[in-house]
Amino acid sequence: MQAQNWLIDFRGGTRANMYRVLKTVVATRSPYQEILILDTIGFGRALFLDGIPQSSALDEHIYHEALIHPVLVAHRQPKKVFIVGGGEGATLREVLRHNTVERVVMVDIDDTLVALAREHLGDWHQGAFDDPRVELVHADARGYLEKTSETFDCVIVDATDPLEGGPAALLFTTEFFKLAKSRLNPGGTFGMQAEATDIGVCEAHASIIKTLKQCFKSVFSYQAMVTFFGLPWGFAVASDEDIAARFTPQVIAATLRERGCTNLKFYDVESHQHMFALPKYVREAIEDPNVGMIIRDDRVLVVE
C-alpha cells in the first residue's frame, strides 16, 4: 500500500473525518483566515476555511439550496436581498434563481477569498458575481448594516462558524439579529446557517433558535444532511410574518414554479418536508430550558 494524502478534520478530538486528497489547489492565508482549496477523490473540489470544511463539489448544492430557498419562498415577493458572507458565490447563485430578485448586496469581508473563488470555484458561483443585479462589497457586514439606510426583503447570513476569537461570533447574537431585523422591509424574512444538528452536538443550534425566538415572531429550525461534514446541518428562517402559511406544499410548489425555480437539484416540496420535520432530539434540545443559552454580544456563542 502506498502513501496517501488525507486531510484529517479532528472535530473536537473525539472523532474525525478523513478526506482523500489528490491535490492542493490553493493554500494561502488572507488577512482574515486560512484558505485551502483541495481536489479530493470522494468529494471533488473542496473548500476549507481555518481548517474547517465549508463546501464540496459533491454536495455544496444541498447546503446552498437548503440555506436559500426556504427564506426566499417565505417572502411573498423578494426583490432586494442582503447576503452576509457567502464568499464562494453559491449562495448568491441560488438567490439569483428567483426571478423576482432585482438587487442583491453581498458583503463578504474577505476579498482574497472571493477572488480565489472566482478563479477556482467556477462550479459554485457559475458567473453569479457578474450578474448586473449584484453589488459586491468587501467590508465587515455588521458594520455595513449599521451604517446603511437601505432596507431589504431578505437578509441571509452565510457566515463561518463562530470560533474562539474569530470574526463571525458577532453575527450570531441578539444584537445582530435585531439589527438585521431593523433593515428588513415589512414582510421581510431572515435566514441563516445555524450550526450542526448532530445528535452529539446540537446545543449551538438550540442556542441560535432560542435567540432568534427572542427577536422574531415566527422562527423555524430545519436541517439537511451534508455528507461533506459527515453530519446534518441546521438552518433557521425567521420573520415577524406568519411563515407557516408560506410553507404549505401548495404554496411552495406554486412559488417555485412562478419564480422559475423548478429545476433545483435538491430543494422541492418533499425535500422541504424532509428538512422541516425535525428528529425528536433536535426538537427536545430546542425546547429544553437547560440546553443552550440566549446569545448576546457580551456572551457570544463559541463552537470548537
Residues at the contact surface with a copy of itself, assessed by CB under 8 A: 1-24, 27, 36, 38, 40-43, 48, 50-53, 58-59, 62, 198-200, 224-225, 227, 230-232, 264-268, 270-271, 273-274, 277-281, 283, 304
Q: Which of 67, 70, 138, 61 is nearest to 105 (CA)?
A: 138
Smallest distance, Å, CB 219 to a copy of itself?
17
For a copy of itself, which is the closer residue by CB, 27 or 245?
A: 27
Q: Is 140 annotated to bind ligand?
A: yes
For a copy of itself, which is the closer residue by CB, 50 or 240?
A: 50
Check if the beta carbon of residue 42 is closer than 8 Å to that of residue 57: no
For a copy of itself, which is the closer residue by CB, 187 or 230?
A: 230
Smallest distance, Å, CB 94 to a copy of itself?
15
Smallest distance, Å, CB 168 to a copy of itself?
15
Residue type, 47: L
Catalytic residue numbers read 158
Check if the beta carbon of residue 172 is closer than 8 Å to that of residue 163: no
Smallest distance, Å, CB 35 to a copy of itself?
12
Check if the beta carbon of residue 197 is closer than 8 Å to that of residue 235: no
Check if the beta carbon of residue 211 is closer than 8 Å to that of residue 252: no
Q: Is 64 annotated to bind ligand?
A: yes
Cell triple for 65: 439550496
Smallest distance, Å, CB 136 to a copy of itself?
28
Pairing of strands 103-107, 152-158: unpaired
For a copy of itself, which is the closer residue by CB, 21 or 300?
A: 21
Q: Is 186 annotated to bind ligand?
A: no
Distance CA 176, CA 145 (A): 9
Cell triple for 29: 492565508
Q: Is 175 annotated to bind ligand?
A: no
For a copy of itself, which is the closer residue by CB, 94 or 241?
A: 94
For a copy of itself, which is the closer residue by CB, 23 or 299?
A: 23
Q: Is 33 annotated to bind ligand?
A: yes
Cell triple for 258: 412562478
Smallest distance, Å, CB 32 to a copy of itself?
15
Sign of torsion over alpha carbons 237, 174, 54, 124 = positive
Q: Which of 75, 78, 100, 97 is nearest to 251 (CA)?
A: 75
3-class state of residue 30 by DSSP: coil
User: How far is residue 100 from each of residues 122, 218, 246, 259, 260, measured CA to CA in Å?
Assistant: 24, 23, 16, 7, 9
Q: Is 141 annotated to bind ligand?
A: yes
Check if the beta carbon of residue 21 is closer than 8 Å to that of residue 38: yes
Cell triple for 131: 450578474
Q: Please enumerate, by residue number, every residue annotated as part of a binding site for S-methyl-5'-thioadenosine.
A: 33, 108, 140-141, 167
